[in-house]
Amino acid sequence: MTGNGVDRDPWVMLRAATRARVGLGRAGDGLPTAENLRLAAAHAAARDAVHLPLDADAVVAALGERPSVVVHSAAADRAEYLQRPDLGRRLDEASEARLREAAPEEPADLTVVVADGLSPRAVHDHAVAVLDALAARLDDWSFSPVVVAEQARVALGDAVAAALGSRMVLVLVGERPGMSSPDSLGAYLTWAPRVGRVDSERNCVSNIRPPDGLSHDGAAEILAALMGEARRRELTGVELKDTGAALPEAAG
């Protein structure tokens, strides 16, 4: 600090306010060695998050006494999943048959799909904790078995919930890792799920990754509010907004 209280480095305040890489300095025409090493480590962490296998058995164990079903998309392995996003949106035949056998006699209000997505690490770290926090806020809701999905994209939830006959689906999925966020979980909510739904018909709560992102309780609070309005108005997507305080009334 200088005598008048102004820091010598003008980037200090900005760096303290963001996890983005700003004001890194330079060594000649390049970055300092320490920053290069940090960048390489962050890149490696992001790659590891993408390729880490989902431990479906551990997720099922963490669910405790909740009924669950493990399914697989039509992507045979991780390489095919990354190269063919369309296959990650479809169930394989055995999984679809398994779900139809597990469907409750009466349609459930909600199916929760725990999907590996592009960061199984995020699922391992956050998915069950978000589900626990959310379930505590949904006393009057009926649930189908929780579905743990391997090699899954968001839209796989539509096929899953349609097979189970559920009114709504919530997909908790590992988001694409960033250079400062290899463990970010997303939550996608769709009313009346069916194959062919598009992203504009969903609501998303993103960057669930305490302590650097949204907390588990914070995400559950937003999701519970969205879900209550979705059930009342029988819709999700661009017509259903979270203003940060109260959800808007239906137009007209």
Given the structure tokens 């909510």, which residue do they identify? 189
d(CA 87, CA 69): 20
Query: In sequence order, which residues have a C-beta less than 8 Å from that of residue 44 and are 6 or more positions away?
Result: none
Q: Kindly report the length of the chain.
A: 252
Q: Does 130 appear as a known binding residue?
A: no
Q: How many CA atoms lie within 13 A of 6 on its CB side?
A: 3
Region of 196 please: left (phi>0), alpha (psi -120 to 50) or beta.
Answer: left
Q: Does 175 appear as a known binding residue?
A: yes
Using CB atoms within 10 Å of the CB of residue 196, give its burial: 0 to 12 exposed, 13 to 18 middle, 19+ buried.
exposed
59 phi and psi angles, rounded to 5 deg:
-65, -45
Q: Does 204 appear as a known binding residue?
A: yes
d(CA 175, CA 126): 12
Q: Compute CA distances 133 → 110, 111, 127, 171, whole Å.
A: 15, 16, 10, 15
> Where is the binding site for adenosylcob(III)alamin, in residues?
154, 175, 204
> Where is the binding site, in residues?
154, 175, 204
